[in-house]
Amino acid sequence: MGELRRLAMVSLHTSPLDQPGTGDAGGMNVYVIELAKRLVRHGVEVDIFTRATSSALDPVVEACDGVTVRHIHAGPFEGLTKHELPAQLCVFAREVLRTEAAQPVGHYDLVHSHYWLSGQVGALARDRWGVPLVHSMHTMAKVKNAALAEGDTPEPAARVIGEEQVVEAADMLIANTAQEAQQLVELYAADPARVAVVHPGVDLDLFRPVPEAEARTALGLPRDADVLLFAGRIQPLKAPDVLLRAVAELVAREPARRARLVVPVVGGPSGSGLDKPQALADLAAHLGIGDLVRFVPPVSQTELAQWYAAASLVAVPSYNESFGLVAAEAQASGTPVVAAAVGGLTTVVRDGHSGLLVPGHDTAAWADALQRVLADRAFQDRLREGAVRQAQRFSWEGTAEATLDVYARARHALAAAS
């Protein structure tokens, strides 16, 4: 087979250079760039293909030594939703193939695609270049449609079909958790021998315990506040409304606590979520807690680490998460997590040790969980210690090493079949 020298990553619908927490940028963006940087340390050069969303973007950007981001022109720069992107797959794929054709034969040794749209392009490149395809789903339509938030839009049949095609085409599939691996097998008829579990990681140098008082001073937060943080895209799937309703219930139970509560919502509206981000502010006002909620635009990873460290707890009430990077980052910062007992969150959060898992999205149950953490400082401190220990299970270096093993399996499988 030879050595793995150069890798083509495909991340069609969202660029690893985009700011996480707004548009369609989120955990997958962090995953792609962090994995790429760690692969470089193992001697692998990485080209990341993504769709250009502005004419001002340079066609080729060196993200760091060994990692190149290539902006592919396919369709209008702005205004396209993920549901409209399938119409641009042919143009995008053509430009990816054209880029490779300008290089010496055998330029790429493997393709790693992220999300089903990228997998469609990756499957074509696999066949054209004669190299293996490794695919990461990140989210799956059948899973999402089985647990829709109120007011959310079901994923279309075209995506379901597209995902089934990618599962069949890929030489190896990477699942974030054992539960996701099981879903690939049961819902998509994936061959268990071609599914590998590789946990995403956390930047443990950036997300680390910092004194709460220090972080709060830097952010202008009261030192004696109960800070209940939501971080992520504002969309029905992420369910920030669940936190707001639980806070309103908490205030109704304990009116005296109101003076100490601060509820920061850090992030922007999703490109495919709430069309009017004002809706969440309107809900807060309707619930009578508008004065407690602070809306903070998406921030850098460095500032996000400060928000985690400043929080009394981080709420992750999502209806589904393939992993739950926010929960992992918060725990690495030494902050307890109160999360919905769904998807990858049941792997990331250790119930009763690093945070609390709440079955479902019932307002009273969520208020109970928030109250339990806030009412007992000793319990909160134990969760903080447990959160740091739990986060040590997830590092990007470990993710890269495990991913390289999957790449080797995919290359051996293709070589054996040739």
**Are 247 and 261 contacting, i.e. CB atoms less than 8 angstroms apart?**
yes
Q: What is the 3-state secondary structure (H, E, C) of 267-329?
A: CCEECCCCCCCHHHHHHHHHCCCCCCEEEECCCCHHHHHHHHHHCCEEEECCCCCCCCHHHHH
Per the annotation, binding residues for 1D-myo-inositol 3-phosphate are 13, 24-29, 82, 115, 139, 159
Give first-to-last CA distance, the chain, whole Å: 11
**What residue type is 155 in one-letter code?**
E
By CB atoms closer than 10 A (0-12, 13-18, 19+), residue 368 is middle
- CA-CA distance, 388 to 333, in Å (whole number)? 7
**Token pair for residue 87?**
């119409």
Per the annotation, binding residues for UDP-N-acetyl-alpha-D-glucosamine are 19-20, 27, 233, 238, 299, 321, 329
Number of Cβ within 10 Å of residue 154's Cβ equals: 12
Per the annotation, binding residues are 13, 19-20, 24-29, 82, 115, 139, 159, 233, 238, 299, 308, 311, 321, 329, 335
Distances (CA, A) of 334 to 38, 94, 305, 396: 24, 46, 10, 18
Per the annotation, binding residues for Mg(2+) are 308, 311, 335
**Token pair for residue 280?**
């969440």
Closest CA to 202 of 343, 64, 31: 31
